[in-house]
Chains A and B, each alone.
Chain A
Amino acid sequence: MNASLIVLELAVVLLGLVVLVLDWFTPAQDRRTLGYGAALGIGVVLLYSFFAFDGRDPLYAFGNAYVLDGLALWFKRFFLIAALLVLIMATEFSNRFETGQSEFFALTLFALAGMMFAASANDFMLLFVSLELITVTFYVLVSFLRRRVDSLEAGVKYLILGALSSGFLVYGIALVFGAAGTMNFNELADKLTNNAALSHKSLLTTGVLLVLVGLGFKMAAVPFQIWAPDVYQGSPTPTTAFLSVGSKAAGVVLLMRLLGTAIPDLAFTLERLLMVMAGATIFYGSLCAIPQRNLKRLLGYSSIASAGYLLLGFAVMNRAGSSAILYYLAGYLFTVLAAFTVIAVVVQQAGEEDISALAGLSQRSPLLASSLTLAMVSLAGIPPLAGFFGKFLLLKAVIAEGIRWHAYYWLFAVAVVGVLISLYYYFNVIRAIYWSKGATDLTPIAVSLPTKFVLGVCIVGMFWLGLNPDGALEMAVEAVKVLKLAS
């Protein structure tokens, strides 16, 4: 029992409460400062995480339900960076919230706390609780523009489908407990190793699969992706950004723990399922994105495709794949946040979310235009940006497995075709920025300093990860060492 391990989470929750309390004493026009203050606070927590923990040896708390190791720490920092940038974006966006700016900041912080707990989950109970903390806060965040019908609609859809998936998840947990008699990941792994018969129990497999359903929902993987485009489109843009980065990554880390810590001996039986899911997700996301004209919906499909690429790393079920997943996520963080930051500004200016709103952006604001271009190029996976290296590592991991089983070559081919298709719609966006005719409104867009900061961080991140992959890759390799996977 070592409660001091959750100091980072506690700090974030406390920060959220402080924001709520200060809200009473802050006049309406000054509430933006609360957002910046919250972002600053997260920055402090982020810095503190480097001093407080090194993650070299796993530390356990709460009866082994909570683990603090390299992987958990990596993901906590990931979530902190994401939340920091999202909070700045949200503060810039906040004049669109008719009521309750501070609530938005506080809820974002609570969701962050959930994600950070998820990064440390070592027990099905904590897995479920942290996931619910994320999901429940997101129900509110999605429908935060309460006067707008599509925001409410998105909220309701997310609520009902989310509840459905939570139902499956909790049912799955119950089945696992019923079959194995434990909730703890390590104990489950031990039981599976010592008791070969257990791994053939359909009850256990069913339970694991239902947990997979719940996590697949979070990641927006086929066939549980159906909610993503509608919710992405309807939500306020900062929520969409946080949803696509934070929520997805929470699903990723939990799936990683599930496969790598809880059921390493059983995981290989899921290989084929994961391969099919990966291929289908890539195809679904890429293909559906093609006819899209709505920017946020487009990114929704792109996010589905990204979930597919992440699943490639799970399908190969080894360390190389897992470290590639982390690398991809890191690049994805900067890329997607850059894209959503630009979209938030543009949508605010134009009042519509159609691609045509980007017309003339290169003249209206070269910074926004080049940021969005870089983001699209990175998403498309073109060197020297971060997205390229992430995809490269994932595909490399897949092709390395091809020697063992030739089906991986087919998976590789599917992924490459997906990349090719994605070039089409990503470059459609770039074309709209630079070469669309008939741009009527050419008034310059003023970009505020905090937005410039966010974009600057994202651009530097994209280039840094793309040009100097060694350091970040080493961190990713270190982080996944705790997983019981083939190297």
Chain B
Amino acid sequence: MEPTLSPAGYAALTILLLPLAAAVIALVCPRRDPESTANRSIGAIALGFVLSLGLFAFTGDKPQEANFNWLSVGDLHVAFGLLLDPLSKLMLLIVTGVGLMIHIYSRGYLHGDRSYSRYFASLSLFTFSMLGIVLANNLFMMFVFWELVGVSSYLLIGFWFEKGSAADAAKKAFLTNRVGDFGFILGIILTWAALGSVNFTELAGSVELGGRLADKAAGFSVLAEPLGKIFNSTGWWIIHPNVLVTLVGLLLFMGAMGKSAQFPLHVWLPDAMEGPTPVSALIHAATMVAAGVFMLCRIFFLLNIPGSHALEFIAWIGGFTALLAALMALQQNDIKRILAYSTLSQLGYMVMAVGLHAPGPAMFHLTTHAAFKALLFLGAGSVIYACHHEQDIWKMGGLRETMPRTWWTFRWGTLALCGVWPFAGFFSKDAILASALEHNNIPLFVLGVFVAGLTTFYMSRLVLVAFCGQARSESAGHAHESPGVMTWPLVVLAVPTLLAGAWGIDAYIAKALPSEHPPHDGGFVDNLFAPFNHNILAAVFGLLAVVAGYKLARALYANAASDPLPGKIGFLANLARDRFYFDELYGWFISVTQETLAKVADWMDRWIIAGLLVRGTHGTTELVGRVLRLAQTGSLQTYAFLFAAGVVLVLAWQLVLNSPAH
């Protein structure tokens, strides 16, 4: 296939490859000049952002594709292809825009670190991988970049690998993601087997065709038959196409479960806070964890095939994660961990929205969340930086006086996260709650509202304890505002935090993800009040929850010296603090299963493989080698003799043993 690239395609390719170039240069000549490494990385992503803006502004909404044939094995054709549609263009803006701020911020935050250039190399590698997921036009390419994101996040979480906890956290993140990715690749293979393609456009086409031909489950019913036969011959069961479709949906969802840290694979995200704070902002707030939700939106048509029940499951997993994480956040004292759990909780919202047949609101929330959560993380980083790497909120306090710029931006971020009108978070969260109502899913609606209250509660707790009141430690007392390279990104991010809700992003998304009630863009002021016109119930309940949460938090934490909650609810508070013992449970499970398995494997390895096979084979091979080498005496006479003998041998073989029959 000849690569045919439009100017837009070239721009997209440039956006993708610039960070890779920056990473490769940093890798090939490390340590030469850390500053210039940082500048190259920042330059790469800045240029990417400008190009993304251009793409956003000047290319139409019609999806464009560019393909380079990369691999053909039998029926499987894998192209290296780029897909530019509203979905990927929006995501490009998020990744490069938020990423740019974080790159700049990192310059200040990691200034003077020994491995400054390694940091920026990894950051650029990550950006490249993330952009690859965004631009991929087929499942296989997405999977490749999916894994690259895994690798680069491993490098970044474990950036301070001298610290045991950071190295462990990196490993944990990587391994947990691997569990999800295993499901993901199985899902991809099954999708390919059923529909004969991995390209998104072609897949969507065949699903649509299936719908028109009254073959509801598209190619899956064709695949179900042979698969059913395999199982049927062993007398297990007959596979109904609907079961297969659901199964594929769930397997694909497993990938999102890992990357977007959904229950039960959520355990890696809080630990990942061991990485540098800008990394937490980039990877664990704005981009990498969003990849799962983005992927679900990308393949929404696969999950939405009639007969599939995957979405119901997804909705409940999302809702449950949102609730669980919000509860855990109530009793955390580490400023970054609170934010980490809140990220989990918000991701739960997004996944729930996908499950409620509302990928549009999910992407909307993803967008606003990327801005305000990055702001919150960077603000937290600024606080941590000012307090000499103190992360316990109970050792802070009074920071509103000493860090004015961090304070007001952080407050805006909090308001957006809680969902206060007119901040961006209100609009996207409202859209999700409204879609729960529209589907008459009252349990999930109630859950969503309750989680909104919890969110306000724990975020108010964080703000009241860390920023208000009196300084509770020496380092907090001596804190002063961070340098401009760190605070200016906060200010820049504060703009979308306030305004993004009414920019008409939801209407833009609707061009790529058709929904039942497409939101329309009626201008800024009109959008500002749209939620109240659209579904007043959701908006009112959402705001009530915020008020309730704030009142409660204020009553408990205004000027509190220590946390009064454990005294009041005791057992439950401990449960929340200890994260419902999931880590312990997993630890126990792994120690039981894996340790046993490891012991068996060790025995096999020690005695059967190493003892019998390797040493036995090695010994024999080596012996043969030495014997054969005896022929290699170095004596010319012997060589000539062996040569002539060889000639005789060849002649004898061919003329005597293998001569034709007559």
Contact = CB atoms under 8 A, between A and B. Distances in A.
Contact of B654 (A223, A230, A273): A273
Given A205-B654, A273-B654, A276-B653, A291 B640 contact: no
Interface stretch (A15-23, A51-59, A161-169): A161-169
Nearest to A230: B634
Interface string B612-637: 00000010011011101101101010
A288 B621 contact: no
Nearest to B70: A468
Contacts of A223: 642-643, 645-646, 649-650
A156 B640 CA distance: 12
Given A168-B647, A206-B651, A209-B650, A288 B636 contact: no
B658 interface: yes
B654 A209 contact: yes
Contacts of B624: 287
Contacts of B653: 273, 276
Contact of A291 (B625, B634, B651, B655): B625
B640 A161 contact: yes
B625 A290 contact: yes
B662 interface: yes
Contacts of A272: 658
Given A223-B642, A226-B642, A290 B622 contact: yes
Given A202-B655, A230-B634, A287-B621, A213 B639 contact: no
Contact of A284 (B618, B621, B628): B628
A269 to B, nearest CB: 7
A135 to B, nearest CB: 15
Contacts of A276: 653
Contacts of A470: 69, 72
If over half of B's interface residues share one DSSP class (helix, strand or loop), that class is named, otherwise mixed; here it is helix
A278 B618 CA distance: 23
A470 B1 CA distance: 11
A174 to B, nearest CB: 15
Contacts of A454: none
Contacts of A217: 643
Contacts of B640: 160-161, 164
Interface in A421-437: 421, 424
A477 B170 CA distance: 47
A361 to B, nearest CB: 18
Contacts of A165: 643
A124 B338 CA distance: 83
A381 B626 CA distance: 24
Contacts of B645: 223
Interface residues of B, number: 32
A314 B363 CA distance: 58
A97 interface: no
B600 interface: no
B659 interface: yes
Contacts of B650: 209, 212-213, 223, 273, 277
Interface string B368-394: 000000000000000000000000000
If over half of A's interface residues share one DSSP class (helix, strand or loop), that class is named, otherwise mixed; here it is helix
A226 B643 contact: yes
A157 B621 CA distance: 29
Contact of B629 (A161, A164, A209, A291): A291
B644 interface: yes
Interface residues of A, number: 38
A368 interface: no
Interface string A388-419: 00000000000000000000000000000000
A269 B662 CA distance: 14
Contact of A161 (B628, B631, B643, B651): B643
Contact of B660 (A269, A284, A288): A269
A229 B632 CA distance: 8
A156 B637 CA distance: 12
Contacts of B644: 164
Nearest to B637: A160
A409 to B, nearest CB: 20
A221 to B, nearest CB: 10
Interface in A269-319: 269-270, 272-273, 276-277, 284, 287-291
Nearest to A468: B70
Given A202-B659, A223-B642, A230-B632, A210 B647 contact: yes
A222 B628 CA distance: 12
A416 to B, nearest CB: 14
A164 B643 contact: yes
B647 A213 contact: yes
A156 B636 contact: yes
Interface string A100-137: 00000000000000000000000000000000000000
Contacts of B625: 287-291
Contacts of B69: 470
B642 A157 contact: no
A227 interface: yes
Contacts of A290: 621-622, 625
Interface in B266-306: none
A287 B632 CA distance: 13
22 contacts: A161-B643, A200-B662, A206-B651, A206-B655, A209-B651, A209-B654, A210-B647, A212-B650, A213-B647, A213-B650, A222-B646, A223-B643, A223-B646, A230-B632, A269-B660, A273-B650, A288-B625, A288-B628, A289-B625, A291-B626, A291-B629, A424-B621
Chain A to chain B: the 8 pairs with minimum beta-carbon distance, closest first: A223-B646, A290-B625, A287-B625, A226-B639, A226-B642, A288-B628, A287-B624, A291-B625
Interface of B: 69, 72, 618, 621-622, 624-626, 628-629, 631-632, 634, 636, 639-640, 642-647, 649-651, 653-655, 658-660, 662
Given A164-B643, A209-B654, A269-B658, 6 more contacts: A200-B660, A206-B655, A212-B650, A226-B631, A226-B632, A226-B639
